[in-house]
Amino acid sequence: MFFTYLRRELRRRVRAAFAIALGLALGTGLVVTVSSVATGTGQAKGQVVQSLYGRGTDLTVTTAASPPKADFTAHPAGPADGDDHVTVQGGQSLDSSVVSRVRGQSGVADAAGGLGLRIVKGGGHDSRGRGQSLPAGADSTGEINGQHGFGGYGGVTAGHSGGAARGGGQATADDYRAYGVDVSHPGIGPLTAVTITSGTGFSAKQTDDKVAVVDRDYARRTSLAVGRALTVHGSTFKVIGIATAADPTAEVYLPLHQAQALANAPGKVSTVYVRATDPGHVGTAKSAIQHHVPGIRVTTSAELAAHVTGSLSTASNLASTVGRWLSATVLAAAFLAAGLLTWSAVGRRTREFATLRALGWSSGRVVRQVVGEALVNGLIGGALGITLGLAAAYALTTASPMLTARVGSAGTLPHIALTAPVNATTIVVAAALAVGGGLVAAGVGGWRASRLRPADALHRVE
């Protein structure tokens, strides 16, 4: 009887039911859209961090020391006239023993060191290296105005845009970046963010081999290919692979020991890459490292992501602030409208409900009928809202608007396509909100219906 009457009443009052459902649909649809955009911008920030850290890296460790500002180049190799000038990027380094100390801390699953180099061919001077003071507001570890850098790579700047290299310069055949990677730990560090498109990557047995992996764009500019020789500071390296990355950490990758030898920096690293035992232990790992390893700076991927600026950051802020406030406002308005419409509908049905009471319906039965109708309206609104939200998210993902991102004050990353993925949690939350709107309407309508008396029917008889 309950469902038969419910079906008949919804059919009779389809316009009122549709109005309530539509209001809830707009609110829940907006929630789905905003949540999906927030998820998409979060993932895009993760891509930015991944291009800097590499996959599988949750934290980085760099030195917190500050050498003299006028000359921040560390471990220069050379230069003799006509020879290459090799410097440690950013001028900061740590003893490689720090890697093993970090690896033994609570919450740490693995750690690997890396050494960034700036190479100027022909004995020239690196405009970002020796003899040049740092930018205003920057310390020698690459922190500008309080923002954390990445392994000393010109501080907080990152990426190529129109040929710009990390650190704000132009990578050419005569001025480029090299990076020493720990080939015995291939699953962590910046090389994990690249794809080998030709040849092979490093193997764990190549720790002391003179081999190199070269970025594809740099290989094209210098006519390098797999099997050819690359000469750096008098040492000849065999190119074993060509790599592709959205934002390469370096133009040339070398085994760590070889990079240390080139820079005359034995046993030194510029960055320690750390993978936590699981995402929930990142904070534990950071605290343990900071407590047991003095003189270092620990930066988490979340902290680095917080410094992403550009249109990506703008989109993220809009989704997390304006979008969520707008969603809350629309939902509140939808809930209020649903309650008022249900209140008005119950008022128009006073004669009907009072007559049913006179025929033997209990007050509870009348209330259940009103609550049932309101909940069905909420479910319909939720289904419509989720459909609208999914359609909006799909349209946004299909359009893939391009956003810019940067970490710090210079060096824009390649444009990042914004997507709007919808996860199961978003769907569940949207459905719950729609049901909540139905419950609000049910509560209002049920309360009014419970106060009806059989005698009220007589007042409506003409």
317 within 8 A of 419, measured Cβ to Cβ: no
379 within 8 A of 7, measured Cβ to Cβ: no
Question: Given this model, what pLDDT does residue 449 score?
Answer: 67
Question: How far is the C-alpha of 85 from the C-alpha of 252, rounded, in Å?
Answer: 15
- Residue type at 374 in one-letter notation: A
The DSSP symbol for 147 reads B
Question: How far is the C-alpha of 184 from the C-alpha of 202, rounded, in Å?
Answer: 9
Task: Give the SS3 label for residue 400.
Answer: coil
The H-or-E segment that residue 52 falls in is: helix 14-53
Domain extents for the chain? 2-47+312-459, 65-294
Question: Given this model, what pLDDT does residue 272 score?
Answer: 92
Question: Given this model, what pLDDT does residue 407 score?
Answer: 62
Question: Given this model, what pLDDT does residue 413 score?
Answer: 58
Question: How far is the C-alpha of 65 from the C-alpha of 319, rounded, in Å?
Answer: 38
Give the pLDDT of the chain (462 residues) as one tens digit per residue. Answer: 566 666 666 676 777 778 888 888 888 888 898 888 888 887 777 666 666 666 667 888 888 755 434 333 444 444 444 578 898 887 778 999 999 999 999 999 999 999 999 999 865 444 433 333 333 333 333 333 333 334 333 333 333 333 333 433 445 557 899 999 999 988 888 888 788 999 999 999 999 999 999 999 999 999 999 999 999 988 999 999 999 886 678 899 999 999 999 999 999 999 999 988 887 888 899 999 999 998 898 888 777 766 666 677 777 777 777 777 888 888 888 888 877 877 777 767 767 776 776 777 777 777 777 777 778 888 888 899 899 999 999 998 898 888 777 665 434 555 777 888 888 888 988 888 888 888 887 777 777 666 666 565 555 544
Helix, strand, coil fractions of the chain, as percent rounded to 5: 50, 20, 35
Q: Exposure pattern of 427-462 as b/e (b: 16+ CB <10 Å)? A: beebbebbbbbbbbbbbbbbebbeebeeebbeeeee
Question: Given this model, what pLDDT does residue 453 score?
Answer: 62
Region class of 115: left (phi > 0), else alpha (psi between -120 and 50), else beta = beta
Residues paired with 117 in a beta bridge:
88, 178
Question: How far is the C-alpha of 9 from the C-alpha of 4, rounded, in Å?
Answer: 9
Question: How far is the C-alpha of 129 from the C-alpha of 175, rounded, in Å?
Answer: 11
Question: Given this model, what pLDDT does residue 172 score?
Answer: 57
DSSP 150-207: STTSSTT----STTBPTTSSB-BTTEEEEEEE-TT-TTSSGGGGSEEEEE----GGGT
